[in-house]
Amino acid sequence: MVRIDQNKQMSDAQKQATRQDYISRLPENATKSNIMQQANISELMTRTEQMKARGATAEELYNMRRELVGAPAAERLAQVDQEDANFNQRFTQYETQKNRLLSQGVDAAQAQIQINQLEQQLFNDTERKRLDGYAALQRQQAVNNP
């Protein structure tokens, strides 16, 4: 499976067909079941990225996911999408307000106090731990996708 995925001479469709052929020839056992689940997860991730890139609706994503992994998992993934969208919205609000505070020319210590208060208002403890990494990821994506 790894060799199939790393084969740069094959298109995505050819890789998918080759993976399915490989899986179909395996004996029925737990290993085959695990490989089939992993193949579904890989396809799920690929198709999700492709659909999001072309602006798919939440319903379209849900239907595709339901076909691949079933309704309960599709519902959980839709919930994760909603949580991510909510976090993104709060992060954008945070960045805007933080930049406004920093550009006002106030004392750096006072600005940091206000930024810390803003973080506490918008994010829980776990989310606050993610802020620096998330900001770095956003900057990297902005550079890679101008």
Mean pLDDT for each 10-residue chunk of the chain (146 residues)? 84 85 76 67 87 94 90 92 94 94 86 94 93 89 78
pLDDT at 36: 64
Instruction: Kindly state whether residue 138 falls inside one of the protein's structural domains.
Output: yes
Instruction: Kindly state whether residue 62 falls inside one of the protein's structural domains.
Output: no
Domain carrying residue 129: 81-144
Cα Rg of the chain (Å, integer): 21
pLDDT at 82: 95
Residues 85 and 139 in one domain: yes
CA-based max dimension of the chain = 69
pLDDT at 34: 65
Tokens read off for 112: 């940091």
The number of beta carbons lying within 10 Å of the beta carbon of residue 19 is 19
pLDDT at 12: 84
The number of beta carbons lying within 10 Å of the beta carbon of residue 85 is 11
pLDDT at 80: 94
The number of beta carbons lying within 10 Å of the beta carbon of residue 100 is 11
Q: Quick check: 45 and 37 in contact, CB under 8 A?
A: no
Residues 51 and 87 in one domain: no
Last residue of a domain, one of 22, 39, 56: 56
Instruction: Kindly state whether residue 89 falls inside one of the protein's structural domains.
Output: yes
Which has the closest alpha carbon to 45: 63, 68, 19? 68
Instruction: Kindly state whether residue 86 falls inside one of the protein's structural domains.
Output: yes
Instruction: Kindly state whether residue 34 falls inside one of the protein's structural domains.
Output: yes
Residues 92 and 135 in one domain: yes
pLDDT at 107: 87
What is the count of structural domains for the chain? 2
Last residue of a domain, one of 56, 71, 96: 56
Q: What is the DSSP letter of 1?
A: -
Instruction: Kindly state whether residue 65 falls inside one of the protein's structural domains.
Output: no
pLDDT at 24: 79
